[in-house]
């Protein structure tokens, strides 16, 4: 702790409210996830990292026995250096940085998948799909969880806390077990199929059932964290966003830091959209990239909050970042409307079955900066997307199929062009064994391969 406090004195990294008119600042050791006025926070770095680091990152791919070079997150540690360390030494790094022996992000990079390209009718050299399901807990969440748990360790937290119905609890439970700290997972009572929590159980997390819906579970987890000395690792935690920046970092590195035309994400809580936006803003500001890729966020038809608001489908107003002052009353009225009409988010792609995206404000900033677009796809389109990824020898969950389906839809609308360079993020590995079985058993489906008698 003493060493951290000394480091903190240097003050090269700190927290700052994202609202430009408010702009309150907090020391890096703060565990606030919001400013006093209820706005979300960013991690800010005073130093401008030199583009020479591109060479360092490349050299670290030969890890020389350093697990933090093996890690696809910590290999880029200089660009998320909230611990403010400056060392290549494995033992020194391990005093600060959390890692599952370098496994997080290690296998995730963009791949060319010719069958997916053929299905989409896009130039196959221009299509890159990046499977984040090959993270140790099976989803992209590990990228941001290592950084959040690193911060938890930095502030001496004994327990991490999250509300989750799936991937987040798996990732939190895994890193907590590995670090020897406790993990509480809040879920709405009686609404979650126990199978979705099997990894959390396996990693020894304590499941806490809350009467109400997911939002109630999240609220209680935030309150309990505050009152009983827990550390919140939901994606409202700004340190989660820092680790998730390495998803676009890895994509860009494999493209020799030449920006693609598009980066495509399934849209759930919008932590990915937010982190990609922040990564691109920083790289552009530091002069590492000259062109800003456009972000496309793909909602499910049945959980389309961002698409409805961004595309003006609610009260005819297109919700925008608006220089840091998005119309939050419009968002509140939309949520009231969902409650009043008893409209619950509904899709079989449970990873993006989210009605109130926790990172909507930062998501809007990302869309503004990248001239982004938002659209929706159906469950059956997502299943086709998921299945064609499988035919290339890569496993992904249904929500990840939204990236492929979204590219198809946007190409159909002439927004993405055949010759564009496109990176689609495949957010997680298949965790529901019956989804592909059911898909392939039905001969009506595009890629179905039913069993023979």
Contact flag: residue 112 with Zn ion (CB under 5 A)? no
- Closer CB to Zn ion, residue 40 or residue 80? 40
Q: Give 7 or 364: the residue with its C-beta nearer to Zn ion.
A: 364
**Minimal distance in Å, beta carbon 241 to Zn ion?**
16
Which member of 10, 37, 209, 328 binds Zn ion (CB under 5 A)?
37
Binding flag, residue 17, Zn ion (CB under 5 A)? yes
Q: Establish if 305 lies at the interface with Zn ion (CB under 5 A).
A: no
236 forms part of the interface with Zn ion (CB under 5 A): no
With binding defined as CB under 5 A, does residue 15 bind Zn ion?
Answer: no
Taking phi first (over 0 means left), then psi (-120 to 50 degrees means alpha), and beta for anything else, what does residue 430 get? beta
DSSP lists the bridge partners of residue 27 as 14
Q: Rounded to the nearest 5°, which phi and psi values hold at 226?
A: -65, -45
Q: What is the closest distance, in whole angstroms, from the C-beta atom of residue 14 to Zn ion in the complex?
A: 14
The residue among 25 and 211 lying less far from Zn ion, judged by its C-beta, is 25
**For residue 315, what are the CA distances in angstroms to 207, 262, 299, 445?**
39, 29, 19, 36
- How far apart are alpha carbons 37 and 33 in whole angstroms? 11
Q: How far is CA 19 from CA 25, 37, 264, 274, 300, in A?
A: 11, 10, 26, 14, 29
**Residue 130 CB, nearest distance to Zn ion (Å)?**
33
Nearer to Zn ion, 26 or 447 (CB): 26
Q: CB under 5 A: which stretch of 33-41, 96-104, 267-275, 304-312 binds Zn ion?
A: 33-41
Closest CA to 386 of 340, 344, 440, 423: 440
Q: At what angle do helices 360-370 and 271-285 cross, to 10 degrees?
A: 40
How many binding residues for Zn ion (CB under 5 A)?
7
Name the maximum alpha-carbon separation found in the chain. Answer: 71
Question: Is residue 362 at the binding interface for Zn ion, with CB under 5 A as the rule?
Answer: no
> In whole angstroms, how close is the CB of 248 to Zn ion at the nearest point?
26
Closer Cβ to Zn ion, 31 or 376, answer by number: 31
Instruction: By CB under 5 A, name the one of 13, 35, 40, 161 that touches Zn ion.
Output: 35
Give the count of alpha carbons within 13 A of 317, CB side only: 13
CB of 131 to Zn ion, least distance (A): 37
Minimum CB separation from Zn ion for residue 361, in Å?
Answer: 11
Least distance between Zn ion and beta carbon 34 (Å)? 8
**Pairing mode of beta strands 373-377, 294-300:** parallel
Interface with Zn ion includes 33 (CB under 5 A)?
no
For Zn ion, give the closer residue by CB, 20 or 195: 20
Question: How far apart are alpha carbons 57 and 78 in whole angstroms?
Answer: 9
39 binds Zn ion (CB under 5 A): yes
- Is the Cβ of residue 39 or residue 245 nearer to Zn ion in the bound state? 39
**Could you tell me if 135 and 141 are in contact, meaning their C-beta atoms sit under 8 angstroms apart?**
yes
Which residue, 20 or 212, is less far from Zn ion as judged by CB? 20
DSSP string, 401-425: HHHHHHHHHHHHTTSS-TT--EEEE
In angstroms, give the least distance from the CB of 352 to Zn ion. Answer: 28
Between residue 385 and residue 424, which ones bind Zn ion under the rule CB under 5 A?
none
φ, ψ of residue 408 in degrees (nearest 5): -60, -45
Instruction: Report how far apart the first and last C-alpha atoms of the chain are (Å, whole number).
Output: 65
22 binds Zn ion (CB under 5 A): yes
Q: How far is CA 371 from each of CA 58, 320, 350, rounded to the nearest angstrom?
A: 30, 11, 28
| Integer Cα distance of 104 and 445 in angstroms | 34
What sign results for the dihedral spanned by CA atoms 103, 282, 295, 148?
positive
Closer Cβ to Zn ion, 35 or 422, answer by number: 35
Note whether 120 binds Zn ion by CB under 5 A: no
Query: CA–CA separation, 355 vs 341, rounded Å?
Result: 13
Q: How many CB atoms lie within 10 A of CB 198?
A: 13
Q: Minimum distance from CB of 19 to Zn ion (Å)?
A: 5
Q: Which of 4, 7, 13, 19 binds Zn ion (CB under 5 A)?
A: 19
CB of 326 to Zn ion, least distance (A): 13
User: Measured from the CB atom, is 49 or 324 closer to Zn ion?
Assistant: 324
Q: How far is the CB of 41 from Zn ion (least distance, A)?
A: 8
Give the shortest CB-268-to-Zn ion separation in angstroms: 24
Q: Which stretch binds Zn ion (CB under 5 A): 39-47, 68-76, 301-309, 380-388?
A: 39-47
Told to check if 238 binds Zn ion by CB under 5 A, we report: no
Q: Does 40 bind Zn ion (CB under 5 A)?
A: no
Residue numbers of the site for Zn ion (CB under 5 A)?
A: 17, 19, 22, 24, 35, 37, 39
């Amino acid at each position: 702790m003493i060493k951290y406090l000394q480091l903190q004195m240097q003050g090269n990294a700190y927290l700052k409210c994202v609202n430009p008119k408010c702009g309150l600042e907090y020391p890096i050791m703060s565990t606030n996830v919001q400013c006093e006025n209820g706005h979300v926070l960013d991690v800010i770095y005073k130093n401008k990292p030199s583009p020479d680091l591109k060479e360092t990152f490349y050299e670290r791919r030969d890890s020389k026995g350093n697990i933090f070079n093996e890690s696809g997150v910590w290999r880029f540690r200089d660009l998320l250096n909230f611990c403010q360390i400056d060392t290549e030494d494995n033992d020194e790094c391990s005093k600060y940085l959390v890692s599952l022996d370098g496994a997080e992000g290690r296998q995730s990079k963009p791949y060319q998948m010719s069958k997916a390209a053929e299905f989409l009718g896009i130039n196959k050299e221009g299509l890159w799909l990046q499977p984040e399901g090959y993270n140790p807990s099976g989803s992209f969440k590990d990228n941001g969880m290592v950084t959040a748990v690193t911060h938890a360790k930095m502030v001496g937290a004994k327990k991490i806390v999250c509300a989750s119905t799936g991937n987040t609890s798996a990732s939190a439970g895994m890193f907590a077990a590995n670090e020897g700290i406790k993990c509480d997972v809040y879920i709405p009572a009686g609404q979650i199929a126990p199978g979705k929590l099997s990894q959390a159980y396996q990693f020894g997390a304590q499941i806490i059932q809350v009467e109400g819906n997911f939002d109630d579970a999240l609220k209680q987890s935030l309150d309990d964290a505050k009152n009983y000395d827990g550390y919140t690792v939901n994606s409202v935690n700004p340190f989660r966003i820092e680790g998730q920046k390495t998803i676009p970092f890895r994509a860009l590195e494999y493209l020799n830091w030449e920006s693609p035309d598009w980066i495509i994400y399934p849209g759930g809580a919008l932590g990915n959209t937010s982190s990609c936006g922040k990564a691109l803003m920083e790289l552009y500001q530091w002069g590492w990239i000259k062109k800003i890729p456009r972000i496309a966020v793909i909602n499910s038809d049945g959980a389309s909050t961002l698409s409805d608001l961004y595309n003006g489908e609610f009260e005819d107003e297109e919700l925008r970042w608006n220089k840091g002052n998005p119309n939050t009353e419009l968002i509140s009225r939309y949520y009231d409307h969902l409650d009043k009409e008893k409209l619950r988010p509904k899709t079989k792609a449970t990873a993006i079955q989210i009605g109130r995206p926790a990172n909507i404000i930062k998501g809007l900033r990302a869309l503004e900066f990248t001239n982004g677009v938002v659209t929706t796809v159906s469950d059956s389109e997502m299943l086709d997307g998921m299945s064609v990824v499988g035919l290339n020898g890569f496993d992904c969950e249904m929500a990840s199929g939204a990236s492929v389906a979204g590219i198809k839809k946007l190409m159909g609308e002439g927004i993405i062009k055949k010759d564009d360079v496109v990176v689609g993020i495949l957010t997680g590995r298949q965790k529901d064994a019956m989804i592909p079985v059911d898909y392939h058993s039905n001969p009506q489906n595009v890629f179905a391969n039913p069993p023979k008698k």
